[in-house]
Amino acid sequence: MAIKVKKDLLFKTINEIAAMYRKKEISPIEVTEATLERLDELEPQLNAFVTVLADEALIQAKKAEEAFVKGRDVGKLYGVPVSIKDIFNTKGIRTSLGSRIMQDNVPSDDAFVYTALKEAGAVVFGKTNMLEFAYGSVHSDYGQCNNPWNVNRTAGGSSTGSGSSVAAGIGFGSIGTDTGGSIRVPASFCGIVGLKPTYGTVPRQGLFPLSRSLDHIGPLTRTVIDNGILLESISSIQLDYDSVFSGEISGVKVGVIHALTESITHPEVKDLTSAALYRLQQLGAESIDVTIPSIEKAEEIAIPILLSEASSYHQQWYPHREGDYAPSTFANIKEGFNISAVSYLSALDQKRKFTEAVNDCFNQVDVLVCPTVPYPATEKDPSFEDGNIDISVRTIPFNISGHPSITVSAGNATAENLPVGFQIVGRYHDEATVYRVAHALQLASGGYIQPPL
């Protein structure tokens, strides 16, 4: 295939690829080979992968091709190349967690999501780069993962490689984790779709935890429909595609979170957020201002929980392995040991009360919305050690409350040509409505836009 044909192929939707497989217009082997070639071409600039599973992927692709040749009835993901964050156990395959401490870690079991993807027939071709232990800092052994819109900017973390690779056409989706925004931030920075489902929707077996109370697993894709396909494969959720993805949202009540929207100072983020709201209104949605008490200070609830729970997983290495951590990761772990039991339990109680306050909002609206991140991609990943926690002010509230939350691109800031994310939050276990609104907005905004890389 010519280079342009290969690139165009890699930016198709999952449904389009699946249809081509069934018509025998192209084979899973060809698509997998094209994906691996694209990875090789861009990896020096992006640094999106820790481990590439080329041989394993081609074996999976060959099995998928045989299934299509025989006319077997298979699912939407069959033969479709996808990746997973290098935080999920893969039996016999290194799982590094972006850390020096785990650089030689080879698990003896598979994570639930890895097993689920293989059972769905997906071609898992690589494990993506990430911030160390998903904890807000990149380790120098692995290096920063760069943004395909501008390789001098970060892809956003902690699911860095998942966001960067999917945006660049290296795979049709990826599975990441989100404890304070680690799916939604890279999705926002890279101009793709990232969902943090309802807490507990995707089983966490085989995931190295950061915070048991805040950790979520979810998909990153280029389109909202693709996101739903991936979510179905790793959870018990089943979507009615005709109704959910109809583009029809007339009568939907959209609650604009006043404190998280009016506080935006970046002029283009502000303008793009306003434009996204206007599109929803043009589609027939009703916009209502919503106030959630103290939501802009939600990190004060999350941080004692996150720090203390994270440190509990690192007792075996603390403090004698200090030199093997990135300095800011170690600083976070050290701080976690200073959190008192009283502070931790108080934060859990505040978490319950905050969750009730978010739930109350859904008595008057169907979804909540606000910007995802207050600015486009930065040069480096902001860290808690530097006091740069504003990046998660709009995402971490919904890790605390556990509500499903998606980011979809609101367009690009023209000054730097970098994507800006728009966040949509729904009721517990109502991913369908979240998807419905996100899909309508993505359609109204012109669909997915490819980066220049």
Spatial distance between the Cα atoms of 164 and 416, rounded to a whole number of angstroms? 17
Q: Read off the pLDDT of each residue in 373-378 and give the average, rounded to a whole number.
A: 97
Query: At residue 386, does pLDDT exceed 80?
Result: no
83 in Cβ contact with 174 (< 8 Å): yes
* Residue tagged active-site, from 158, 211, 405, 445: 158
Question: Is residue 316, in this structure, part of any structural domain at all?
Answer: no
Lookup: tokens for 136: 């807000």
Question: Is residue 449, in this structure, part of any structural domain at all?
Answer: no
Lookup: tokens for 369: 């919305």
pLDDT tens digits for range 160-187: 999 999 999 999 999 999 999 999 999 9
In this predicted structure, what is the pLDDT of residue 225?
Answer: 98
Q: How confident is the model at residue 385 (pLDDT cuts 50, 70, 90)?
A: low
* Residue tagged active-site, from 165, 174, 182, 383: 182
* Residue tagged active-site, from 76, 85, 127, 196: 85
Residue 186: CATH number of its domain: 3.90.1300.10
E strands in 10-67: 49-52
In this predicted structure, what is the pLDDT of residue 381?
Answer: 83
Q: Which residues contact 220 (CB under 8 A, 6 or more apart)?
A: 159, 162, 163, 166, 173, 174, 175, 176, 183, 186, 187, 192, 193, 194, 195, 227
Query: At residue 49, does pLDDT exceed 90?
Result: yes
Question: Is residue 34, in this structure, part of any structural domain at all?
Answer: yes
Q: How confident is the model at residue 74 (pLDDT cuts 50, 70, 90)?
A: very high
- Residue 284: count of CB within 10 angstroms of its CB: 12
Q: Which residues contact 62 (CB under 8 A, 6 or more apart)?
A: 28, 29
Spatial distance between the Cα atoms of 146 and 151, rounded to a whole number of angstroms? 5
Q: How confident is the model at residue 388 (pLDDT cuts 50, 70, 90)?
A: low
In this predicted structure, what is the pLDDT of residue 322?
Answer: 98
Range of the domain at 248: 3-305+327-444
Q: Read off the pLDDT of each residue in 75-85 and give the average, rounded to a whole number.
A: 98
Question: Is residue 311, in this structure, part of any structural domain at all?
Answer: no
Q: Read off the pLDDT of each residue in 55-59 and give the average, rounded to a whole number.
A: 98
Q: Read off the pLDDT of each residue in 295-319 and give the average, rounded to a whole number.
A: 97
Spatial distance between the Cα atoms of 148 and 167, rounded to a whole number of angstroms? 7
In this predicted structure, what is the pLDDT of residue 208?
Answer: 98
Q: What is the DSSP string of 170-193?
A: SSS-EEEEESSSTTHHHHHHHT-E
In this predicted structure, what is the pLDDT of residue 6?
Answer: 84
Q: Read off the pLDDT of each residue in 303-311 and give the average, rounded to a whole number.
A: 98
Query: At residue 211, does pLDDT exceed 90?
Result: yes
Q: Annotated catalytic, 233?
A: no
Question: Is residue 452, in this structure, part of any structural domain at all?
Answer: no
Spatial distance between the Cα atoms of 157 and 293, rounded to a whole number of angstroms? 28
Angle subtended by helix axes 299-312 and 341-361, to nearest 10: 130
Q: Annotated catalytic, 70?
A: no
Query: At residue 384, does pLDDT exceed 80?
Result: no
Q: Annotated catalytic, 158?
A: yes
Structure-model confidence comparison of residues 387 and 281, the more confident one = 281
Counting the structural domains of the chain, the total is: 1
Cα–Cα distances in Å, from 382 out to 7, 252, 306, 330?
32, 35, 17, 16
For 80, the 3-state DSSP assignment is coil
Task: State the chain's mean pLDDT as an integer.
Answer: 96
Query: At residue 26, does pLDDT exceed 60?
Result: yes
Question: Is residue 450, in this structure, part of any structural domain at all?
Answer: no
In this predicted structure, what is the pLDDT of residue 390?
Answer: 87
Query: At residue 389, does pLDDT exceed 70?
Result: no
Region of residue 391 (phi > 0: left; psi between -120 and 50: alpha; otherwise: beta): alpha
Q: Read off the pLDDT of each residue in 282-301 and give the average, rounded to a whole number.
A: 96
Query: At residue 247, does pLDDT exceed 80?
Result: yes
Cα–Cα distances in Å, from 165 out to 43, 94, 194, 392?
9, 19, 13, 22
pLDDT tens digits for range 348-366: 999 999 999 999 999 999 9
Spatial distance between the Cα atoms of 110 and 60, rounded to a whole number of angstroms? 16
Whole-model pTM? Answer: 0.98
359 in Cβ contact with 365 (< 8 Å): no
Question: Is residue 314, in this structure, part of any structural domain at all?
Answer: no
Q: What is the DSSP string of 93-130?
A: B---TT-STTTT---SS--HHHHHHHHTT-EEEEEE--
Question: Is residue 453, in this structure, part of any structural domain at all?
Answer: no
